[in-house]
Amino acid sequence: MTATTANAPGKDQPAEEPRKPDDPFDRDVLPTPPGATAALLRSLLAPMKARVAVTTLLLLLQQAAVQTGPLLVAYAIDSAVPAFRRDDLGPLIAVGVGYLLCALASGVLQYAFILLSARVSQDVLLDLRGRIFRHAQALSVDFHERYTSGRLISRSTTDVESLRELLEEGLQELVTVILSFVYISAMLLWLDLGLGAVAVASFVPLYLLVRLYRRRAARVYTLRSTAIAAVIVKFVETMNGIRPVRAFRREAVNDADFRVLNSRHERNNGDALLEMARYVVGSRLVANTAVAGIVLWGAYRVAGGTLALGVLAAAVLYLRRLYDPIDRLGMFLNSYQSAAASLEKIAGLLAQTPSVPEPSQPRQLPAPESEHPGREVVFDGVRFGYRTGGEVLPRFDLTLPAGQTVAVVGSTGAGKSTLAKLLARFYDPSEGRVLLDGVDLRELAVPELRRGVVMVTQEAFVFSGTVAENIAIGRPDATHEEIEQAAKAIGAHDFITSLPDGYDTDVRKRGGRISAGQRQLVAFARALLADPAVLILDEATSSLDIPGERAVQRAMSTVLHGRTAVVIAHRLSTVEIADRVLVMEHGRIVEDGTPAELIAGTGRFADLHQAWRDSLA
Ligand SMILES: Nc1ncnc2c1ncn2[C@@H]1O[C@H](COP(=O)(O)OP(=O)(O)O)[C@@H](O)[C@H]1O
Ligand SMILES: [Mg+2]
């Protein structure tokens, strides 16, 4: 019954919807739901609430210790020095000791603060990197087809790095600046209401300046981080496709593209620095005007006897401390801006949900009826189109009885691979269901699905690690004998033993490089070892030479025996091992029958087969 609701039209994106003119994947930032960025930050900091509280307390105490200094100077000038003139050494000694204690306390507190805050930020970043990796890995194939690996790399390097800068340097800076503003204003007002009021009044133009800068910097920094991401994306994509780049002499074009992106980044960087320079000049102007005003007015009052000299000295010391960190506040705002932009991008990525979600109430496959591993496959009214294109399978019904080997032929673009990918649940149909022994793939527990359906494609991938490990991905608990058996069954044993370290050869190290055809053999052995109920071979022998393909084919009858198999063939020789042949055109099955029936008939397959026979003669 869940299946019928899942079947309801309109629940998923209708397949025929044209490509939206503003595809969010064309931009660097995916739409971030409102509040997602703040929620991400909260969830990152939540587990370390206690430690954040302690670090804040340390900073509070440290600031208190630091900001007592000028007060002691005022006391020394106005009370301790006159007392010393009266031969009373006590107050001066007290001031000296007090100053020393404050310095000592602030040093110790600062040390503890740095240690603790570094640990907090390290933990946050560790958590965040892990989340990005896990989430990206869990997202569906169609996400990765549109969001490039370059962008993912940029998310987990540049963006995490800018967050690190904020956490390790910027945040401390901000809290220190705010704290010292509060402390110092309070001290100044307490020392002398008039002078304090002038200092506090200077906050107004400073605040306006900061606000202006923030607005302008936000724009520049977003541009800048988009620009650096574009540089990384271009870099990664070019190097990933280095073979076609070489083959088609794309170097010059790529160089030109890269130069444009690189200089755009440089320009944005220059703009950012310019904004920064304007801010620094502006804030110094305000600060120095305020200091000059206070010193002049203070000196006038000291001369008139309405202000103690020590108070003026303390006020000037405080003012320097007050305005000094303002330059750094600009720096902090910079790192805040880039970190906010980065965090928004990361939040946008983390907010993506898999378009092929795991079932909330997973179902198990029924117990097998015979000792054969094969299971029945049904495409029930399936319609499907890729998000970025038109409909590929208009309406597809197909039943493959358990244990049948089906060859699928048809011209390029007919939808054969799409059929295979739907069966492996890389995508979900927009309408209809794909059933494995009566269970909708959408309801099937993920491990069951991965064990049940295995696909070998032409782009056989090997992971870093040894050949044996690569084969064992199909079944991690396999023994060495089982691995070797699988390799032997598929005809890969001979080439593997001729590698420098045999099965223990590292495929990414020197000497371990294996050819495309050999990679396919490894992928075959991997699939065989996984022992799936349904095996899909999508042009999986395309990189093998004719003898290699023959060897695989001989092995195939044993490998496929009892299994349900979908063999997408690019050479008709493969068809010989099939119980049934499907000819596909434009997402539809146009012929369906045993190889003998179709060859005897007058359809497309008969023509294809005749042409193939002729080519062999
Ligand atoms: N990832 C994809 N995104 C968008 N369109 C795709 C994608 N893969 C295939 N297509 C389109 O779907 C159609 C069928 O492709 P495919 O199933 O790969 O054909 P075949 O394997 O029979 O050559 C083609 O028109 C192709 O352009
Ligand atoms: Mg294909």
Tell me the DSSP string of 163-202.
HHHIIIIIHHHHHHHHHHHHHHHHHHHHH-HHHHHHHHHT
Per-residue pLDDT tens digits for 223-270: 887 888 888 888 888 888 888 888 888 889 999 999 999 999 999 889
CA 84/CA 428 separation, integer angstroms: 88
Distance CA 223, CA 229 (A): 10
Highest mean pLDDT (candidates 330-334, 362-366, 414-418): 414-418
The mean pLDDT value for 319-332 works out to: 80
pLDDT digits 0-9 by tens, 517-557: 888 889 889 988 988 999 999 988 777 777 777 777 777 77
Ramachandran region of residue 406, left (φ > 0), alpha (ψ -120 to 50) or beta? beta
Residue with tokens 């799409």: 418
The Cα–Cα gap between 55 and 386 comes to: 51
Cα-to-centroid distance, 471 and ligand 1 (Å): 28
Mutate to test the pocket of ligand 1, among 386, 421, 583, 589 (most ligand atoms within 8 A of CB): 386
Domain ranges of the chain: 34-350, 377-616
Three-state DSSP state, 455: strand
Report whether residue 145 contacts ligand 1, using a CB cutoff of 6 Å: yes
What is the share, in percent, of the chain residues with pLDDT greater than 90?
Answer: 33
Query: Which CATH architecture does the domain made up of 377-616 adopt?
Result: 3-Layer(aba) Sandwich (3.40)
Task: Please tell me if the CB atom of residue 557 comes closer than 6 angstroms to any atom of ligand 1.
Answer: no
Structure tokens at 542: 């395309």
Identify the DSSP state of 351. T
pLDDT tens digits along 426-449: 999 999 999 999 999 999 988 888
In short, whether 422's Cβ falls inside 6 Å of ligand 1 is: no
Query: Hunting for tokens 């065989």 — which residue is that?
Result: 528
298 confidence band (pLDDT: 50, 70, 90): very high
pLDDT tens digits for range 172-230:
777 888 888 888 899 889 988 998 998 889 889 988 988 888 888 878 878 887 888 88
Residue range 311-326: mean pLDDT, rounded: 86
For the chain, give the longest Cα–Cα distance. 126
Q: Give Cβ neighbours of residue 606 (< 8 Å, ≥ 6 apart).
A: 598, 599, 600
Angstrom distances, CA of residue 168 to CA of 154, 161, 326, 413: 20, 10, 18, 52
Query: Using an 8 Å Cβ cutoff, are 381 and 397 in contact?
Result: yes
Q: Which pLDDT score is estimated for 258?
A: 92
Cα–ligand 1 centroid distance for 391 (angstroms): 10
Q: Using the 8-state DSSP alphabet, how is residue 559 labeled?
A: H
For residue 568, the ligand 1 atom closest to its alpha carbon is: 21
pLDDT class of 511 with cuts at 50, 70, 90 = low
Task: Please state at what angle helix 480-490 crosses helix 516-530, rounded to 10 degrees.
Answer: 120
State in Å: Cα 416 to ligand 2 middle. 6
Sheet holding 564-568, edge to edge: 453-456, 534-538, 564-568, 405-410, 580-585, 588-593
To the nearest 5 percent, what fractions of the chain are helix, strand and coil?
Answer: 65, 10, 25
* Ligand 1 mean position, distance from CA 413 (Å): 6
Query: Model confidence over 111-121: pLDDT tens digits?
Result: 999 899 889 88
Residue percentage of the chain with pLDDT more than 70:
95
Mutate to test the pocket of ligand 1, among 145, 393, 418 (most ligand atoms within 8 A of CB): 418
Write out the two tokens for 538. 């999508």
DSSP string, 258-304: HHHHHHHHHHHHHHHHHHHHHHHHHHHHHHHHHHHHHHHHHHHHHHH
Cβ contact 316:295 at 8 Å: yes
Answer CATH for 34-350 from 1.20.1530.20, 1.20.58.2030, 3.10.105.10, 1.20.1560.10: 1.20.1560.10
Mean pLDDT of the chain: 86
The ligand whose atoms approach the alpha carbon of 412 most closely is 1
**Per-residue model confidence as pLDDT tens digits over 42-62:** 999 899 889 989 988 998 899
Among protein residues, the one with the nearest Cα to ligand 1's atom 2 is 386
pLDDT at 310 over 60: yes
Q: How far is CA 473 from CA 43, 256, 329, 537, in A?
A: 34, 42, 52, 17
- pLDDT tops 80 at residue 322: yes
pTM: predicted TM-score of the whole model, two decimal places: 0.76
pLDDT band at 368 (very low <50, low <70, confident <90, very high): confident
Nearest CA to ligand 1 atom 25: 413
Q: How confident is the model at residue 22 (pLDDT cuts 50, 70, 90)?
A: low
